[in-house]
Structure 1
Amino acid sequence: MLLLLGCSARKRHDTQPLPAILRYDGPLYQDLRAFLRRRGWPPALRIGTFSAEYGLIGALAPIPDYERRLDSERAAQLRSTVLATLARWRDLADRTVLVAGSLYVSSLLPALQAAGYSSVTVVPGAIGEKRAHLGRALQALPSVLQTRHDPVDMGRRTVFFPDWEDFLDPDFDFLTEHFSGPPGARRRVHAATALGEPISDGILVSLAQRLTHKGLLKQLDRSDPRSTAPQQLRQYYQLPDDAILFGDCGAFSYVEEEEPPITVSEAAFLYHIYGFDLGASVDHIPAPYLPLPERQRRLQLTLANAAAFLAEARHYGSFHPVGVVHGLDAADYARSTALLIEMGYRHLGIGGLVFRSDREIAEIVRAVAAVRASMRRRIWIHLFGIFRPKLQHLFEESRVDSFDTASYYRKAWLRSDQNYLGVDGRWYSAIRVPVSSDPRNRRKLLQRGIRPEDAVELEQQALRALVAYAAGEQDVESTLDAVLAYDSLIDRDDLARRDLRSLYRRTLLARPWEQCPCVVCRSLGIHVVIFRGGERNRRRGIHNTRLLYRQVRNGDQCFPADHE
């Protein structure tokens, strides 16, 4: 069902943009939100709003506050854009229900007919009759609310994989380097599920994606069909039923802003409709480089937001609210922890730790753990954005319950000497064979006067040499000669100071990919240690993360040296 509503004169006046369904606060919108709160967002429901300011837009499209009423002149101005939007929405549903005032109906109904909508129901009558009809139409839709997972029930430490659109093509051919199809038509699997076995206990998804053009929650134009309904995260990421969905606000993305761009009501609403198991309160990081008064203001704002967020979360009752803890020092973190527990939080997330040294983090964790130990109730504690291998003994002693980290995943391509984690617990350098057709590499080659065809020939010789070495058909030194002959063409300042031959020789002689039983290493062979393009690099990151996850699951406390 495509439900079309007129906008309402009554609005929420939050200064930040809000989804249209939250911005408008007339009786129909209040009824609609009450239904969604009780029943969740039915998969068959699409909602559009005819806004006097913005035209026909999706209910999830964020809009600023405004004051404008629809009149016949404004309706005529919007006609062409409304027709264009209806053309984009034609296949969203097999029937359309129009619930709006007479001027909205007289504008939308001819446009619906002109756009080819054949099954349109116009709800007649005064506002009371419209509300009753809307209620009956919504009640006929199935409920989708399900019991949300609580990591406390797992009885062990949990690890979350932070998502930032880490998808790969499962059918990529590493010999021909062909994808399964053109961009937009390729098969895609998420890094967290590509292995066929878990590499984490769930995914951490940031609502800050709504401020960007990347991710499931990314910014869309207001008339995009995807803004008419939420896509369920479990389906999008192809997660197993027991995986946990953890949402936060991505405070690092707006640390330079005066105020968080996400409101408390918006955060709670989005956690609810997207099916999150855990949702973090709206925080604002008191970064250490900020003036002291500003840091103190952010601490108070974070606590005030946490109180308001807990009330909103209880209003929905569908996800577990996580209170975000910040502080200027360990004592501040302890005070904030106590205040959040007094508010009623049973799940806490310690934020702002990325800025901190190991010594500072140790002090903070001890202080928070001491407060938690004094409480009668079980309090679950998550550390945002860090893992810190050297502190794992302390975290275990302090009963830290959970982490989110992508450090082992991203080291696959962000470090020159620690890209592949062997089952022996040692880091190995991946062997770089850059893609010569990459625009950046092509520019470098042209600047150095190297013909593209010469570069391609050396590139292919390097790849053939590595494959031959893995098959036992070529010795290590001649393989290195071929790799470095091509490698020397690409001027990379960050690697120029390193002895690449020694790093690469160590990797080749150890042949670590042969010792690992994971699907990535079994299927890719030596390609898993070739630093070349996203398909290889992401798979190497998956391999690294799998080993980290298995160590955590096994209760190990000795981890390879790492820098996050």
Structure 2
Amino acid sequence: MTTFNYYFPDNLDFVDPKFNGITNEKTKHHRKYDDDAYPHEILKELPYNGMLVSLAGVGTMQKKGKYYTQELTEDFYYYGAKKFLRLNQDKYSSVLLMGDCGAFDYVNEPEPPFTIDELIEFYDRGGFDCGISLDHIVFPYAKDDEALKAMDYADIREAERRIKITLDNAVLFLERSKVLNTSKGKSFIPYGVAHGFSKESFISSVKKLEEIGYTHITIGGMIKSKTPDLLDLLETLSSIKKKETQFHLLGICRFENIPAYAKYGVTSADSTSPLMQGIKAGKYFEFNDDAHELIQSLSIRIRQCDHDNVQKLIDKHRHEIRSLVVKMLNNNEMDIDLSNNALSTNECVKRLETDCIKKLKQYDATGEHFDATFKALMAYEKVTTADHLAEITPVKQAILNKDKLRVKKFLLERPWKTCTCGVCESGIMNIIFRSNQTNRRRGIHNLAMVTKHKDKVIDDMKSTMIKANK
């Protein structure tokens, strides 16, 4: 049957469950990790099929990880991944754990900084369901012969060197994982890693991994590729792989391609993209069940006036901000009186922020006074956005107008009011584009939406197959 598992990479992306977006207050004497919650703890439904944890992120007892403190590293090895990630409850029993070495984090090093023995120990003590071999990532990729001819010879040689390291490690990793699984009665599924700088080199990697004995193979290094090039490669690899071989996409999961993935033998993928699009790009995902669509909106942004970035903007553009305030007053673009020349620029900006938040809270609660709320939002957006404080070209104005329409649409439709993910019920102040806590909550909401979309697509594909076989 058709299946596709989405793994969420662990980068300690959790939030304070007691954070109050209205008052902007966190847990008193807040302690990271101890007082925080993972996405699966605050959402009402599981937002992923599994979690992927990297050795480079956790580290070893001797080598510091990228994301973990020494204390957290020790706890991880002592308790194991299930308990550390708080997945040891019955309701999370279906969540799979995949481990990898984290090659992306040491891409600029000449050799992987870990040994196969360290990786095996990581998987053993972590209690993983799946473990990926020790690889060295290859990024340059030539989609066709013309692109291959244009590639620097030095880049090709370096790619070949890294592919050899990856394949040599795959031989030893499979041998030692079998020994571990036999001697300790444990069983994690070993994954080999296929890297390549061209179709031919990828084909060679897949065939060699199958010869070694792998039935599960990850496709690495394609995170920077364009979607047509990725799908073209997967189609080619699906035509040469063994029937039982399953592919996993490392670090990339463009959810709109799931039907193609299933067709080409891709049964799983991992990605932080939905979370990061929420955190950094301000995107808010919606799942339209009727149309089976994943819709991306631009969330409402209210920058924190006392944040360093806003304060630096004010310091740099005091004159422009005062001139813009006068202009907006004359054009009736705000409903508060800032005509007093004794007011400092900082105070003008702060009053606009306060007015904006006050009206947004009222609108969230009642759905009334849309025009006044939108006016306040746009007034504050203008005084805290560099593009509005410099000469605006026609191209830039078109972009600003487009963003304005997106915000207006989001505010009018109020999608957060009907969402039952477990985050949005607390109101818009918990998901606006503003603070680290609100931005992460919006990203966590996105995880719930992409998983809903993914599950619906898979269910539809299964139904189609059943009908076709009748």
Asked if structure 1 preserves the Cα contact closer than 8 Å seen for 2:76 and 2:84, the reply is no
Partner of 1:478: 372
Match of 1:464? 358
Pair 1:291-2:151 in alignment: no
| Corresponding letter in the other structure for 1:540 | R
Look up the SS of the partner of 2:366 in the other structure.
coil
The whole-number CA distance in structure 2 between the counterparts of 1:238 and 1:493 is 44
Residue of 232, 245, 248 corresponding to 2:97: 245
Q: Which has the larger radius of gyration?
A: 1
Give the Cα separation in 2 of the matches to 1:486 and 1:393. Answer: 43
Q: Give 1:67-466 correspondences, 5 Å limit.
A: 156-184=3-31, 187-209=35-57, 210=59, 214-216=66-68, 218=69, 220=70, 226=74, 230-239=78-87, 240-288=92-140, 291-317=155-181, 318=186, 319-372=188-241, 374-375=242-243, 378-415=244-281, 418-423=283-288, 425-449=294-318, 451-466=345-360
Please tell me the residue identity of whatever aligns with 1:459. E
Residue 265 of structure 1 deviates from its aligned partner by 1.5
Q: Distance in 2 between matches of 1:508 and 1:341?
A: 53
Q: Distance in 2 between matches of 1:381 and 1:498?
A: 42
User: For residue 278 of structure 1, what is the amino acid of its counterpart?
Assistant: C
Name the residue aligned to 2:323.
none
Return 5+ residue gaps in structure 2 as ranges.
141-150, 319-343, 389-395, 461-470
Aligned CA distance change for structure 1 residues 228 and 484 (closer, same or farther; 3 Å): closer
SS at structure 1 position matched to 2:354: helix
Q: Structure 1 length normalisation: TM-score?
A: 0.65
Aligned length: 396
1:228/1:255 CA distance change after superposition, 3 Å? closer
The answer to which of 448-457 and 187-196 deviates more is 448-457
Cα shift at 1:354: 0.9
Residue 188 of structure 1 aligns to a residue whose secondary structure is coil
Q: Distance in 1 between matches of 2:75 and 2:420?
A: 43
Structure 1 residues 421 and 502, CA, compared in 2 at 3 Å: closer, same or farther? Answer: same
The residue aligned with 1:549 is: 451
Q: 1:192 offset after TM fit, Å?
A: 3.6
Letter in 2 for 1:174: G
Equivalence map 1:499-514=2 (5 Å): 499=401, 500-514=403-417
Q: Once the 2 structures are TM-superposed, how far is the Cα of residue 390 of structure 1 from its aligned partner? A: 4.7
Identity %: 29
Cα distance in structure 2, aligned partners of 1:505 and 1:391: 30
Quick one: distance in 2 between partners of 1:274 and 1:404?
19
String of CA shifts for 1:487-512, please: whole Å, max 9, x gaps.
22223459984224322111111211
Q: Secondary structure of the residue that 1:507 maps to in structure 2?
A: helix
Task: Give the Cα–Cα distance (whole angstroms) in 2 for the partners of residues 473 and 390 of structure 1.
Answer: 33
- Which amino acid is 1:304 matched to? D
- 1:235-260 CA-to-partner distances (Å, cap 9, x unmatched) read 22211232111111111111111111
Instruction: Tell which deviates more after alignment, 188-197 or 469-478.
Output: 469-478
| Separation (CA, whole Å) in 1 of partners of 2:261 and 2:49 | 18
Q: Distance in 1 between matches of 2:17 and 2:371?
A: 33
Query: Cα offset for 1:331?
Result: 2.4
In the alignment, structure 1 segments of 5+ residues that lack a partner are 1-153, 559-564
1:292, 1:169 → 2: CA distance? Answer: 46
**Aligned mates of 1:282, 1:557 — CA distance in 2:** 34
Contact 1:193 1:199 in 2 (8 A): no
**2:432/2:442 contact within 8 Å kept:** no
Contact 2:19 2:437 in 1 (8 A): yes
The equivalent position to 2:427 in structure 1, one of 521, 525, 543, is 525
Aligned partner of residue 217 in structure 2, secondary structure = strand
Q: Does the 8 Å CA contact 1:206/1:250 hold for their aligned counterparts?
A: yes
| 2:134 partner SS | coil
TM, length-normalised to structure 2: 0.77
Contact 1:480-1:505 within 8 A present in 2 as well: yes
Distance 1:274 1:316 in 2: 13
* 1:189 and 1:237 in contact (8 A); partners too: no
Q: Deviations over 1:54-79 (max 9, x none)?
A: xxxxxxxxxxxxxxxxxxxxxxxxxx
Higher relative contact order (CA 8 A, sep 6+): 2
Partner of 2:384: 490
With over 3 angstroms needed to count, the CA separation of the structure-2 counterparts of 1:193 and 1:364, relative to structure 1, is: farther
Aligned to 1:531, the other structure's residue is in SS state coil
**Alignment partner, residue 538 of structure 1:** 440
Q: Secondary structure, in 3 states, of the residue corresponding to 1:401?
A: strand
Distance 1:225 1:311, change over 3 A: closer
CA distances 1:101-153 after superposition (whole Å, capped 9, x unpaired): xxxxxxxxxxxxxxxxxxxxxxxxxxxxxxxxxxxxxxxxxxxxxxxxxxxxx
Q: Which residue type is aligned with residue 464 of structure 1?
A: K
Higher helix share: 2
Distance 1:349 1:278 in 2: 11
SS of the residue aligned with 1:321?
Answer: strand
SS in 2 for 1:366: helix
Q: Residues 427, 384 of structure 1: CA spacing in aligned structure 2 closer, same or farther, 3 A cutoff? A: same
Instruction: Give, in angstroms, the shift of residue 324 of structure 1.
Output: 0.8
RMSD: 2.7
SS in 1 for 2:42: coil
Measure, in 1, the Cα distance between the counterparts of 2:179 and 2:97: 20
Counterpart CA distance in 2 for 1:264 and 1:437 is 48
Seen in structure 2, the aligned counterparts of structure 1 residues 504 and 225 have a Cα distance that, compared at 3 Å, is closer
